[in-house]
Amino acid sequence: MARLKGGFSILNFRTLEQGHAAPVESTGILQPNATRAGLLALVGALIAFVGFAGALSDLVTRWSQQEEYSHGFLIPVVSIWLLWRKREALRVNIGRPSWLGPIVILFAALLHVVGELSAIFILSQLAFVFVLAGLALAAGGYSLLRVAFVPLFFLLFAIPLPYFVDATLTFRLQLISSELGAFFVRLFHIPVYLDGNIIDLGNYKLLVTEACSGLRYIYPFLSLGFLAAYLFRAPSWQRATVFLSTIPLTIVMNGFRIGVVGVTVNYWGIKAADEFLHFFEGWIVFIACGGVLLIEIYILARMSGKSLFEAFYNFGVTEPSPLAPQIGSASFVPLAVSLVVLCAAGISVFGISGRPELIPDRPRFVEYPERIGAWRGRSALMEPDVERSLIGLNDYILSDYRGADAKDVNLYVAYYASQRKGESPHSPVVCIPGGGWQIVKFERTNYANGDIKLPLNRVTIEKNSTKQIVYYWFNERGRKIANEYLAKWYLLTDAILMNRTDGALVRLTTQVYGDETEHDADMRLQAFIRDAVPTLSDYLPSDTNTRVQSVQSEPNSNRL
């Protein structure tokens, strides 16, 4: 029997995972040692909860506010249940502690600091899971982490993706779902024309909104698929098939739902389609996906000569054998070091949260000229509830500028003096659907004219019979950036190197009027850029700004 570092054997561990009895080795493990290690690890987890409180509270906020992540409340419960069912295996596999534990925790602490500095909370949330893995290593070595690995890894499914990633996925899935919906409609020999995310049936048009993208099904079903694959006693390729099939399964099922709505509209009208849509959404789609996944598992189980129930683990059928050696009181040193590192990280994060941040002086947008070249502006104010929702917004301008042709360009600039606590400009790709507009086309392009070189996001949007063209970009300490991932990267580096996180969103919008094409609207926006951007640069501080900088003594503590 091969003995590995960490105090477990290959044969016995595999037997343990399968829930069968194994020969008992006399290793002399003492229950008090396991208890003390468990208690110290629990203390470490509590310290981590305190030190990561801000990032964890952001998790709860996202779970509460976004339907696609509402399953997040169940993920920790399932992880705890998995650990509880494996409690005997955890106890007897507390082996020789590894010094890799404090190293992992130190890495997680640094990641947490970076997440706090950059306001990219996903870094801190990932770091929290790393801390738990590090505590397992420090308490019981590789043998303990191997038993606890899957329950800890499962926590990753509770971590939401950043808003700008969600927005991009939503838009892509809207298009995919629209194509699938049109495909299913055509199977019934119904003529259909697809324009972006608009399914045109002739007498009726279906708009595939962001709520119909399928993300609200994919995220929770991906978690369920991972859990099913873990509990499925089958070859690795079958378990991987179960997990990976969840994504195409939910996408196809969502497209099928849209297709059925299209067929219902064609034969029975909008009212019947609305009634069907309300019935065939939410849990109905999720349950249908679960049924198909269960059939898939049944087929794979039969291929291995097992029934459906025989194919799943039954935790705790028998008492596992003790596999870890007694290692004495010195074994608590890595765990004690880990606790010290956690405490130091917590203190550092609290210090960073209150660190004064450099805020450049700048003129306010109330001074922005209402006359720019041939353009005449008419300023407006946002609705109070909309302005309140933009947490951390320090200054903005919302103005319609009319050109010589009597056609308007709307200018909106949102300035944030600090983005360190998660307050940052909302991407128009996220906000546009909230106003009832449908994103028909999104592309990234560039504008260049003389000294003006500008990367742009160009978005075509529609509502009813009205079409608009939107240009937007981010201004981050003087850098003009279209790519939101790149903007977050500079936010991270500038927060560390410059102690500055100020930035702004610049958005230009114009309507495509009935007597013109999209190209005409583009030309109008680009003419406005030539006149407005040089003036706008005076109101958005750059990294070489020569104005006197003030120091923020009380950083804004609001979080998104």
SS3 of 308-364: CHHHECCCCCCCCCCCCCCCCHHHHHHHHHHHHHHHHHHHHHHHHHCCCEEEECCCC
Q: What is the pLDDT, as a whole number, of residue 133?
A: 94
- Mean pLDDT, the chain, as a whole number? 79
H or E, element range at 154 = helix 121-154
Query: How far, in Å, CA of 461 to CA of 470, rounded?
Result: 8
Query: What is the share, in percent, of the chain residues with pLDDT greater than 70?
Result: 80
Query: What's at 70, amino acid-wise?
Result: S
Which of 74, 94, 96 minimizes the C-alpha distance to 86? 94
At residue 544 the predicted structure's pLDDT band, cuts being 50, 70 and 90, is low
Query: How far, in Å, CA of 171 to CA of 178, rounded?
Result: 11
Q: How is residue 71 written in tokens?
A: 């399953």
**For residues 221 and 556, which has the higher predicted lDDT (pLDDT)?**
221
Which residues on neighbouring strands pair with residue 442, listed in sequence order?
A: 459
Q: Which of 95-104, 306-315, 447-456 ranks highest by mean pLDDT? A: 95-104
Looking up tokens 């468990």 gives 38
At residue 273 the predicted structure's pLDDT band, cuts being 50, 70 and 90, is low
Q: Rounded mean pLDDT of 101-111?
A: 92
Q: Phi and psi of 121, rounded to 5°?
A: -65, -25
Tell me the torsion sign for CA atoms 380, 384, 389, 392: positive
Q: Rounded mean pLDDT of 464-479?
A: 91
- DSSP, collapsed to helix, strand or coil, labels residue 428 as helix
Query: How far, in Å, CA of 312 to CA of 516, rounded?
Result: 63
Which of 413, 414, 427, 423 minimizes the C-alpha distance to 357? 423
* pLDDT-wise least confident of 38-42, 154-158, 306-310, 311-315: 311-315
Query: What's at 294, amino acid-wise?
Result: L
* Domain extent listing, the chain: 3-161+330-353, 164-309, 357-552
Query: What's at 432, amino acid-wise?
Result: I
* pLDDT-wise least confident of 137-151, 166-180, 235-249, 465-479: 166-180
**In the predicted structure, residue 13 carries a pLDDT above the cut 70:** no
Query: How far, in Å, CA of 484 to CA of 490, rounded?
Result: 10
Q: How many residues does this entry show for the chain? A: 560
Sorted by sequence, the CB contacts under 8 Å of residue 92 that are 6+ apart come out as 29, 34, 320, 321, 322, 323, 324
**For residues 437 and 225, which has the higher predicted lDDT (pLDDT)?**
225
**In the predicted structure, residue 24 carries a pLDDT above the cut 60:** no
**For residues 112 and 264, which has the higher predicted lDDT (pLDDT)?**
112
**Can you say how many angstroms the Cα of residue 221 is from the centroid of all Cα atoms in its chain?**
16
At residue 34 the predicted structure's pLDDT band, cuts being 50, 70 and 90, is low
Query: How far, in Å, CA of 190 to CA of 407, rounded?
Result: 40
Q: What is the pLDDT, as a whole number, of residue 27?
A: 40
**In the predicted structure, residue 359 carries a pLDDT above the cut 50:** yes
Query: What is the share, in percent, of the chain residues with pLDDT greater than 90?
Result: 25
**For residues 53 and 528, which has the higher predicted lDDT (pLDDT)?**
528
**In the predicted structure, residue 462 carries a pLDDT above the cut 80:** yes
H or E, element range at 237 = helix 236-244
SS (H, E, C) 162-184: CHHHHHHHHHHHHHHHHHHHHHH
Q: What is the pLDDT, as a whole number, of residue 499?
A: 82
The conformation of residue 441, written as its DSSP 8-state character, comes to: E
Q: What is the pLDDT, as a whole number, of residue 279?
A: 57
Q: Rounded mean pLDDT of 242-254?
A: 90
The conformation of residue 23, written as its DSSP 8-state character, comes to: P
Query: How far, in Å, CA of 394 to CA of 419, rounded?
Result: 11
Q: What is the pLDDT, as a whole number, of residue 319?
A: 38
Query: What's at 320, amino acid-wise?
Result: P
- Contacts of 429-435 spanning 24+ positions with Cβ under 8 A: 429/164, 429/167, 429/168, 429/171, 429/457, 429/459, 430/163, 430/164, 430/166, 430/167, 432/459, 432/461, 432/470, 433/170, 433/209, 433/210, 435/463
Query: How far, in Å, CA of 207 to CA of 203, rounded?
Result: 14
User: What is the chain's alpha carbon radius of gyration, rounded to the nearest angstrom?
Assistant: 28
- Can you list the positions of beta strands (E) in 245-290? none
Q: Rounded mean pLDDT of 172-195?
A: 85
